[in-house]
């Protein structure tokens, strides 16, 4: 049976096409959001400034929603739920209304409209729906006014970010927030973000350095200027997010969903985008990023970025790395060093794509006086950091007072397992092999150089098998541990 498009769907497509024409003619950039990622926001407009015959990109942008009519009055009913969500956005938000019969657009600045209405007719915000009459025609003068209003809102936001920079925010503070999170310029250092709802969040200028955001649902969030350096975003849902001017150096975005995401002006040096999901919007916006040195992309993705962005020079293809690895169950060599995380912990998650782990084996080679290194498995809603936590099993080796000996330690739900307390001899700066296996009945074993050193008597909670990482730390001492020959096997489904 053929698919049928309704008249309302046709009108919606026409209105978006007409608005795109108006916006592009102004020299601005029109980014339309995909329908499957629609939270009542149709897209984003980036402002450009014309100077000496060229259009120069700015950091100013606004979100928009389009409504339309083929006949009748220029009015529309909106739910108070949607209006309150949009008005809380710290990105300027505009409503556009297209009258097809008149072939004219009308507009309002939503935040300004709601503020004035609340002052003069606050009782209307107690209703379920609010009728808006569109009177301001969209023309050359009103587009300049929209630019002016957008810039004024950004000035307030930028001042707030500056005032809050380096201030710590706790996970508890964010969990208590009603509605989408709005937090500007703060730092999440050592905060457990696993239980925080970040969908539609506005966290511009936020410091997520080295944060664990793996598999996080962050759809339609505003993260302009945020710092994701060294963060783990493996498997995260980032569809429709705005990242302009953000920092992704050495971040991990393997298998992340990036459709509709805006990356203009971001810094992506050393970031790993292996197996990430793209569309033309996110690929084009990535072409407007900076510092592709050692950034990793799947085969063919770089060519699409260069083609869509019409990049004339070869700096991107010269600097970026094409991920041509054939074996999906082999991880690259990695050297763990002290970070700003709690206990100086560094880690790499194993990309399981929703499957359960069956086996992991890897070598570690310590190259410092003090070190800790091993394997952690944790509940999908839990965090990799700190190394010891509830709903997890941690098995690790560590330095002792004797240079050529290491100790073996295990924790279940953060509690030390007294029976695992052994010291073994090794050759300094030579590899030690650690392995982990899960039986069909979910009993687990941990090995050192093929010898079983830890075998819990109880079955493991199968949920813990879906989130696994390699981890190292130094209790805030400088350390260096090389992880190599990393191989893993997920369970057959």
**Of the options 3.40.50.150, 2.60.120.10, 2.60.120.200, 3.30.470.10, the CATH number for the domain spanning 330-490:** 2.60.120.200
What mean pLDDT is reported for the chain? 87
Single pTM value for the model: 0.73
Give me the mean pLDDT over the 195-221 stretch. 89
CATH class belonging to 165-324: mainly beta
Q: What is the pLDDT of residue 421?
A: 85
Q: Which CATH number fits domain 7-160: 3.40.1350.50, 3.30.70.100, 3.40.50.300, 3.40.950.10?
A: 3.40.1350.50
In the chain, what are the domain boundaries?
7-160, 165-324, 330-490
Residue 324 has pLDDT above 70, yes or no: no
Q: What is the pLDDT of residue 208?
A: 92
- pLDDT tens profile 151-196: 888 888 788 777 777 677 666 667 666 677 877 878 877 677 877 8
| Residue pLDDT, tens place only, 55-114 | 888 888 898 999 999 877 899 999 988 888 888 777 889 999 999 999 999 999 998 998
Does the pLDDT of residue 387 top 70, yes or no? Answer: yes
CA distances from residue 408 to 367, 395, 411, 437, 463 in whole angstroms, order as listed: 18, 8, 11, 17, 25
Confidence of residue 460 (pLDDT cuts 50, 70, 90): very high
What CA–CA distance (Å, rounded) separates 184 from 173?
13
pLDDT in the model for residue 2: 67
Cα-based distances in Å from 432 to 236, 372, 483, 484, 485: 32, 13, 10, 10, 11
Percent of the chain with pLDDT over 90: 48
pLDDT at 39 over 60: no
Higher pLDDT, 198 or 320: 198
Each residue's pLDDT tens digit, 399-450: 999 888 999 999 999 999 999 989 999 887 789 999 999 998 999 999 999 8
Mean pLDDT of 455-471: 93
At 477, the pLDDT band (50, 70, 90 cuts) reads very high
Question: In the structure, what pLDDT confidence band is assigned to residue 471 with cuts at 50, 70 and 90?
Answer: very high
Examine the pLDDT at 317 and tell me if it is beyond 80: no
pLDDT of residue 311: 58
pLDDT interval class at 356 (50, 70, 90): very high
């Amino acid at each position: 049976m053929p698919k049928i498009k309704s008249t309302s769907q046709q009108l919606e497509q026409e209105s978006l096409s007409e608005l795109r024409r108006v916006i592009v003619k102004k020299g601005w950039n029109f980014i339309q959001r995909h329908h499957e990622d629609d939270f009542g926001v149709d897209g984003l407009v980036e402002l450009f400034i014309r100077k000496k015959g060229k259009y120069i990109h700015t950091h100013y942008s606004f979100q928009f929603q389009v409504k339309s009519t083929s006949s009748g009055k220029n009015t529309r009913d909106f739910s108070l739920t949607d209006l309150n969500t949009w008005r809380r956005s710290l990105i300027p938000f505009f409503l556009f209304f297209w009258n097809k019969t008149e072939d004219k657009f009308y507009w309002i600045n939503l935040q300004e409209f709601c503020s004035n209405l609340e002052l003069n007719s606050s009782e209307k915000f107690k209703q379920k729906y609010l009728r808006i009459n569109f009177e301001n025609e969209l023309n050359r003068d009103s587009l300049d006014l929209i630019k002016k209003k957008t810039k004024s809102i950004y000035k307030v936001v930028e001042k707030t970010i500056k005032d809050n920079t380096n201030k710590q925010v706790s996970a508890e503070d964010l969990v208590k927030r009603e509605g989408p999170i709005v937090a500007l310029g703060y730092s999440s250092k050592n905060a457990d973000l696993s239980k925080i709802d970040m969908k539609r969040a506005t966290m511009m200028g936020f410091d997520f350095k080295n944060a664990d955001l793996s598999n996080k649902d962050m759809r339609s969030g505003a993260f302009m200027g945020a710092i994701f350096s060294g963060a783990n975003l493996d498997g995260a849902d980032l569809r429709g997010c705005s990242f302009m001017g953000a920092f992704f150096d050495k971040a991990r975005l393997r298998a992340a969903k990036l459709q509709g995401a805006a990356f203009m002006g971001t810094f992506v040096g050393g970031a790993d985008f292996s197996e990430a999901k793209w569309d033309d919007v996110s690929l084009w916006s990535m072409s407007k990023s900076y510092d592709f040195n050692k950034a990793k992309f799947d085969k063919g993705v770089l060519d699409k970025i260069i083609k869509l962005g019409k990049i004339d020079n070869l700096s991107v293809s010269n600097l970026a790395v094409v991920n041509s690895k054939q074996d999906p169950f082999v991880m690259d060599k990695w050297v763990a060093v002290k970070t700003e995380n709690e206990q100086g912990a560094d880690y790499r998650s194993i990309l399981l794509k929703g499957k359960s782990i069956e086996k992991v084996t890897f070598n570690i080679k310590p190259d410092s006086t003090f070190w800790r290194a091993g394997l952690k498995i944790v509940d999908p809603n839990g965090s990799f950091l700190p190394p010891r936590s509830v709903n997890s099993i941690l098995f690790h080796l560590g330095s002792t007072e004797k240079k050529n000996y290491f100790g073996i330690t295990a924790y279940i739900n953060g509690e030390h397992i007294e029976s695992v307390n052994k010291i073994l001899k090794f050759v300094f700066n030579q590899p030690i092999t650690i392995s982990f296996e899960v039986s069909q009945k979910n009993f687990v074993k941990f090995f050192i150089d093929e010898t079983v050193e830890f075998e819990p008597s109880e079955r493991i909670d199968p949920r813990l098998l879906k989130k696994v990482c390699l981890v190292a730390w130094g209790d805030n001492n400088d350390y260096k541990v090389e992880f190599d020959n990393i191989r893993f096997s997920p369970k057959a489904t």
